[in-house]
Amino acid sequence: MRMSSDSLNALRPVSNSAPRKTRTAVLISGRGSNMLAIVEAAKAEDYPADICLVVSNKETAAGLDAAEAQGITAVCVDHTAFESRTEFEDVLDAVLREHNIEFVVCAGFMRVLSASFVKGWAGRLINIHPSLLPKYKGLHTHKRALKAGDTQHGCTVHWVNEGVDDGEIIAQAIVPIHTGDTPDDLATRVLEQELGLYPKTLAQVLNEKPTK
Active-site amino acid positions: 129
Strand partners, 50: 23
Between 118 and 155, CB nearer to ligand GRF: 155
Q: How far is the CB of 33 from ligand GRF (least distance, A)?
A: 3
Q: Is the dihedral of CA 28, 33, 38, 43 positive or negative?
A: positive
Within residues 163-192, the interface with ligand GRF by CB under 6 A covers 191
Contact between 55 and ligand GRF by CB under 6 A: the answer reads no
In three-state secondary structure terms, 125 is strand
Between 107 and 205, CB nearer to ligand GRF: 107
Contact between 30 and ligand GRF by CB under 6 A: the answer reads yes
Q: Which of 125, 184, 135, 176 is nearest to 156 (CA)?
A: 135
Contact between 107 and ligand GRF by CB under 6 A: the answer reads yes
Q: Yes or no: say if 42 and 50 are a contact pair by the CB < 8 Å rule.
A: yes
Using CB under 6 A, pick the residue from 31, 140, 178, 209 that binds ligand GRF: 31
Between 169 and 210, CB nearer to ligand GRF: 169
Q: How far is the CB of 70 from ligand GRF (least distance, A)?
A: 14
Q: Is 165 left (phi over 0), alpha (psi -120 to 50) or beta?
A: left
Q: How many residues does the chain have?
A: 212
CA distance 35 to 26: 6
Using CB under 6 A, pick the residue from 194, 199, 203, 206 that binds ligand GRF: 194
CA distance 6 to 10: 6
Residues 124-163: x where in contact with ligand GRF by CB under 6 A, - otherwise, as a string: ----xxx---------------------------------
Q: How far is the CB of 119 from ligand GRF (least distance, A)?
A: 22
CA distances from 96 to 24, 99, 200 (A): 9, 5, 23
Where on the chain is the footprint of ligand GRF (CB under 6 A)?
A: 28, 30-35, 63, 107-108, 128-130, 191, 194
